[in-house]
Amino acid sequence: MAGWPAGIDRIVLESTDSTSAEAARRAPGAPTWIMAHRQTAARGRRGRAWTMPEGNFAASLTWRPGGTPAAQALRSFVASLALHDALSGMGVAGLALKWPNDVLLEGGKLAGILLEGAGDRLILGIGINLIAAPGASEVEPGATRPVSLLEATGLRITPEAMLDALAPAFAAREAEFATWGFAPIRTAWMRRAARLGETVTARTMAETTRGTFEDVDAEGRLVLRTEGGLRRIPAADIFFEAVPETREGA
């Protein structure tokens, strides 16, 4: 396991409303990870609430990556790939990546990632269900079922140990992105992609598109093959088709 990355600060709090909000308020000069054992107002994509019992992981990285907004948005792929690296390095198997930035474990949602801009800084928030996952009533109907690491594998990883693994993993993938661009990140991400070649549904506020997940393009857009041809979707919520159950002897 690599050590803590050079030049990156670390703040661990007992409690805060949201680690990303804390990062925005503090606006540290150096790249900084801020972790909290409890969050009182955690949030996910599109302002949705994020359940955060103590023992789960919540942390945000704030830094100034430079580059265009489009390039900054690709950090969601960098982050999910780094999280896959970190968890795999801790012995977690059965992981996959769901476009654009969720980490799945045995088909269930283990972790979510939220990118936000704050002036010239980027704030990367990561939440991981280490010991507990939200119940079915707490997620959108049809959404990927949440799962916890402890429930699915029996592994108990502390938030501090998770941060110790994630920070160097992200630093390595970020260096790869800064040096070589999105292409190697995209290639590595696609090797870990969930439901590639299968039918998925992409839902935005304006429309719903159903098609075969064919690719992620050089701009990070989801590529679906639909009845009307290829569609490239820059942002959406993705819903998987139910996997039919099989019976012995069928």
Q: Residue 239: helix, strand or coil by DSSP?
A: strand
Closest alpha carbon to 90 in 37, 164, 147: 164
Distance CA 232, CA 220 (A): 9
At residue 43's C-alpha, the angle toward residues 84 and 16, to 5°, is 95
**Single-letter amino acid, residue 151:** E
Residues 6+ apart with CB under 8 A from 93: 153
Q: How far does Cα 237 stand from its chain's mean position? A: 13
- Upstream peptide bond of 100 is cis (omega within 30 degrees of 0): yes
Q: What is the pLDDT of residues 126-143, one digit of tens each?
A: 999 999 998 765 666 667
Distance CA 184, CA 63 (A): 22
Q: How many CB atoms lie under 10 A from the CB of residue 172? A: 17
Same fold, 9-191 and 199-240: no
Distance CA 42, CA 112 (A): 12
Q: What is the pLDDT of residues 164-180, one digit of tens each?
A: 999 999 999 999 999 99
Q: What is the pLDDT of residue 249?
A: 42
Q: What is the pLDDT of residue 43?
A: 62
The DSSP-derived string for 63-107 is E---S-HHHHHTHHHHHHHHHHHHHHHTT--SEEEETTTEEEETT
Q: What is the pLDDT of residue 245?
A: 45
Distance CA 132, CA 146 (A): 9
Distance CA 236, CA 201 (A): 9
The H or E element containing residue 62 is strand 57-63
Which CATH superfamily is 9-191 part of?
Answer: Bira Bifunctional Protein; Domain 2 (3.30.930.10)
Q: What is the pLDDT of residues 61-95, one digit of tens each?
A: 999 999 999 999 999 999 999 999 999 999 999 99
250 band by pLDDT with thresholds 50, 70 and 90: very low
Average pLDDT, the chain: 91
Q: 199-240: what CATH class?
A: mainly beta
At residue 141's C-alpha, the angle toward residues 139 and 146, to 5°, is 40
130-162 CB burial, b ≥16 within 10 A, e <16? bbbbbeeeebeeebbebbbbbebbeeebebeeb
Q: Where are the domains of the chain?
A: 9-191, 199-240
Distance CA 158, CA 40 (A): 19
Predicted confidence (pLDDT) at residue 192 exceeds the cutoff of 80: yes
